[in-house]
Amino acid sequence: MEPGASAIALAAGSVVSARAATASSPTPNAESFVTELYSTLSDKQKKQICFDWDHQDEKRGLLRTFVANNWNITKPEINSDFYSDEQRHLIQKVFEGIIHPDWHERYYQQLDDDAGGFGNEQSIAIFGEPGDGKHEMVITGRHMTLRCDGDSADHVAFGGPIFYGHAPTFNEDPEHIDNVFWHQAVEANKLYQMLDGRQQKEALVAKTPREQAVGFRGMKGGMTGLPVTEMSSDQKEHLQKVLGLLTEMYRTSDQDEAMQCLAKQGGLDACHLSFYSDHDIGKDGVWDNWRLEGPSFVWHYRGAPHVHVWVNVADSADVKTNS
């Protein structure tokens, strides 16, 4: 046996044993709670919140892929009498399964501030039939579009475009006090300060695009701001830190899928970073609006007057955006 082969074999055996143990006692994930929820729904409930995988809405098009900053995908609120206590509990377990445990407290703070708590002014829809092929559950409300798809949606991360935001006060001050997402912008602005004069000039853009304009440009170009290829190694390292802060809120499997999509389109080196100067709260040179964009990667951060963030990530620029 070659040197090290026994260690490799031992490691491989450990992996097999670990997988076998996992298979014998699986840890419930968000998708398993969607399946359980679906099994509890009455026919009357299914008629209102369940749809075919490719259901087309008259106004919103392919309903499963729609994203907005403040909307309800169906009429029944989670905290209404439409759902039983058990069903509301399962919906909350899906939510907690999508969000990384380290972020539960902060997400619940956002929901308290923006909606008076989880389940208020929020609704869900289930597309396809859980346990029988493609399926996805979508959670919507003010400052929220989240998806639980179990890798059913082809080519996309997070099950499709998602949205997050927070408004402790509608018109926030320059420090965005108590905003649970503002630290992301703080780190992005630290990178701006690391740029030299020429880089800052190229990164700073005069006008913020429409925040919902997050469709993919592909390899054809047209992206604004500073190309990441023009950053130094320490600047790229800091940008990687910013990217980690953007994705850390979500479960590990969704983080990994987002990074795989980004890598397929050339990684961060295929991206541009823009800071927008037209909506600078307090005129302090800390740019409230900014965007990291690649061929099929858009993370648009609008911080004025409060935080709205649009996320659209796929492994192909051919994926159409519905916003």
Distance CA 66, CA 179 (A): 26
Cβ atoms of 203 and 192 closer than 8 Å: yes
Domain ranges within the chain, ordered by starting residue: 30-153, 182-313
pLDDT value for 287: 98
pLDDT in tens, 91-112: 999 999 999 999 999 999 999 9
Distance CA 74, CA 310 (A): 21
For Cα atoms 206, 211, 217, give the angle at the middle one, nearest 5 degrees.
85
Q: Residue holding tokens 């389109």? A: 265
DSSP one-letter string for 52-101:
-TTPEETTTEEGGGB--SB--SSSS-TTSTTS-HHHHHHHHHHHHHHB-G
Output the pLDDT for position 219.
Answer: 86
**What secondary structure letter does DSSP report for 171?**
S
**The pLDDT of residue 42:** 98
Do strands 50-51 and 123-128 pair parallel, antiparallel, or not at all (unpaired)? parallel
> pLDDT value at position 17?
36
Q: Does pTM surpass 0.85?
A: yes
**Distance of alpha carbon 143 from alpha carbon 312, whole angstroms:** 15
Per-residue pLDDT, 18: 36
Query: What is the C-alpha separation between 190 and 25, in angstroms, rounded?
Result: 45
Say if residue 15's pLDDT is above 70.
no
pLDDT at 8 over 50: no
Instruction: Yes or no: say if 299 and 311 are a contact pair by the CB < 8 Å rule.
Output: yes
The tens digit of pLDDT for each residue in 185-229 reads 999 999 999 999 999 999 999 999 999 999 999 988 789 999 999
- Using alpha carbons, list the distances in angstroms from residue 282 to 164, 168, 172, 189, 270: 23, 17, 10, 15, 33
The reported pLDDT for the residue numbered 153 is 87
